[in-house]
Amino acid sequence: MTRVAECGEDEIDRAVAAARKAQNGPWRQTTPADRGRLLHKVAALILENKDSITKMESLDTGKPLAQAEADCVVAARYFEFYAGIADKIGGVTIPLTLDFLDYTEREPLGVVGQIVPWNYPLQMSARGLAPCLAAGNSIVIKPAEEACLSAIELGRICKEAGIPDGVVNVVTGYGSEAGAALASHPDVNLVAFTGSVQTGSTVMQSAAKNVVPVLLELGGKSPNIVFADADLEKATPVIIKCALQNAGQTCSAGSRVLVHRSRHDEVVERLVELAQKYRVGPGIDNSDMGPVISKRQWTRIMDYMDIARDEGAEIATGGKRPEGKDCEGGFFIEPTIFTQASPGMRVHDEEIFGPVTTVVPFDTDEEAAGIANATPYGLVTGLWTQDVTRAHRMAREIAAGQIFVNTYGAGGGVEIPFGGYKKSGFGREKGLEAINFYSQTKNICIGLT
Alpha-carbon Rg for the chain in angstroms: 23
Q: How far apart are CA 142 and CA 12, in angstroms?
A: 9
**Residue 160 designated active-site:** no
Number of H helices, E strands in the chain: 16, 18
Scanning 106-196, the segments in alpha helix (DSSP H) are 121-134, 149-161, 180-183
Q: How far apart are CA 225 and CA 231, in angstroms?
A: 12
Q: How far apart are CA 179 and CA 3, in angstroms?
A: 19
Listed residue (249, 271, 245) closest to 258, CA to CA: 271
The 8-class DSSP code of residue 252 comes to: T
- Residue 256's SS3 state is strand
By CB neighbour count within 10 A (0-12 exposed, 13-18 middle, 19+ buried), where does 303 fall? exposed
DSSP class per residue in 333-397: ---EEEES--TTSHHHHS---SSEEEEEEESSHHHHHHHHT-SSEESEEEEE-S-HHHHHHHHHH
Question: How far is CA 104 from each of CA 28, 190, 389, rounded to the nearest angstrom?
Answer: 19, 21, 40
Q: Which of 217, 334, 351, 429 is catalytic?
A: 217
By CB neighbour count within 10 A (0-12 exposed, 13-18 middle, 19+ buried), where does 184 fall? buried
Q: What amino acid positions are annotated as catalytic residues?
A: 217
